[in-house]
Amino acid sequence: MEDYLSELENCELCEWRCGANRLEGELGVCRMGEPQIASAMLHPAPPRSYTIFLSGCNFKCLNCQNWRIAHYPDSGASPRGFLDPAEMAKEAYQRIKSPKGQALGADRIFFSGGSPAPSLPYLEKLVEEARKLGDGNVKVNYDTNGFLTEESLRRVLDFTTSVTFDIKAYHDDVHRALTGAPVEPVLRNAKCIAENAPERLWEFRVLLIPKITEGEVKPIAEFLSAIDSEIPLNFLAFRPNFVFEDYQGVTREALDRAVEVAREAGLKNVNWSGRADLPGEIPEATASEYDESGAKRAGGIAKRAGCVTHPRDCGSCQAIHQCPIKGYKPGRRT
């Protein structure tokens, strides 16, 4: 075992703080052993980069667009596997500096997933190796769902150039219904970055899901604008995915309205991106264990997919290692 992975013997990298000995086969909420590279490629999505996708995730989002990666090993995906961080660093550096990388405008390594959080010690080693190459000035973007411990967040900020930060919801029950996790650590970490490292923040992102997260727009915008009106916020257009494979896509009108509401709340740097107006259905809100209407609707979908703990709480769920959400297979390609 490499020394830099030793903390995986008692893993507390994210706010689940499972304490699992991942190197000896114990599994926490993310169900990951040693870090696994899912795939890597030059990628135009802002910021342009060589994006390294890490397998696994500490959330169980109903709408996951990268579900094969995020829900490994239950998804049945075949990742590239555990790769020597020095070799992975060399690959990333060479691809960024290649003619194709330069034509794209790629200027950094981008860690995404799933969630990179379960792979944090590996990423630190990879970045250390990358910065031994060339002029040593390798930029790094870290893509996060925000569910990190305060110590892990500090470590992320120590090696990153930029951070893209997803806020799934503001209300705890909506966040739980969508992800299986509480929202407090996410909001805490969002505030920490916005207040203490605004120069690292590429943008906050909110996925706009009809009748589920539309009610989250105003409180999220008010939360951010109270910190700094210049904070960048991007609304992402929901498209049918994973457990939400038949759910209706968000309309252009709703996206435009979200931008308007966020600006009315005081934010100046707001936009939206993605493909709008995709067809689908919006089921009734049926889960009585939740308060917010969006949570009732998402919770009802989770129930129909087999989720047994409501309000959702993956950290205390007895079915954590036979999770029907992680094992869900969409009926059509998403």
pLDDT, tens digit (0-9, with 9 covering 90-100), for 177-212 = 999 999 999 999 999 999 999 999 999 999 999 999
* Binding site listing: 57, 61, 64
Confidence category of residue 272, pLDDT binned at 50, 70, 90: very high
Is it the case that residue 3 has pLDDT exceeding 80? yes
Is it the case that residue 334 has pLDDT exceeding 80? no
Question: What DSSP state is assigned to residue 171?
Answer: S
Express each pLDDT in 87-100 by its tens digit.
999 999 999 999 99
pLDDT score at 136? 83
* Binding site listing for [4Fe-4S] cluster: 57, 61, 64
pLDDT score at 45? 87
Question: Residue 77 and residue 53: Cα distance in Å, rounded?
Answer: 13
CA–CA distances in Å: residue 254 to residues 35, 51, 65, 210, 305: 39, 30, 20, 8, 27
On average, the pLDDT of the chain sits at: 96
CA–CA distances in Å: residue 294 to residues 214, 284, 287: 8, 10, 10
Confidence category of residue 333, pLDDT binned at 50, 70, 90: low
pLDDT cut 70: percent of the chain above it: 99
